Amino acid sequence: MISQEKLQGIIRQLKAQEGVRGVVVTNMDGLPLSSDLDAETTESVAAIITSLVGKALDAVREMREGTLSFLTLDTTKGQINIAPDEKEGLILVVLK
């Protein structure tokens, strides 16, 4: 499993990029591991994104399209980038 120090380094690098509003790292069960958002928002994002990723993973498997590596959601407020890593058991979420 990835160390908390390494997670914080990843968050710092992503947060330094222009337009990034927040970063959340969660495990595949929806437990937030690290975030730069407030606790309530972090828990909400982790729960919602974990559910979405689970459904997307199922869809990709069912369609026999290989493995899911990245999701992008375009919204009226910006963009949500989601990078699930089944091997590590983590989901990286970047709000732009």
Dihedral sign (CA 87, 74, 41, 6): positive
> Domain extents for the chain?
4-95
What pTM was computed for the model?
A: 0.90
Cβ proximity of 23 and 45 under 8 Å = no
Tell me how far CA of residue 24 lies from CA of 8, 62, 80, in angstroms: 10, 28, 11
**DSSP for residue 76:** S
Domain 4-95 in CATH: superfamily? Dynein light chain 2a, cytoplasmic (3.30.450.30)
Per-residue pLDDT of 42-62, as tens digits, reads 999 999 999 999 999 999 999
**DSSP for residue 12:** H
Per-residue pLDDT of 53-96, as tens digits, reads 999 999 999 999 999 999 999 999 999 999 999 888 999 999 99
8-33 mean pLDDT: 92
CA–CA dist 93, 91 (Å, integer): 6
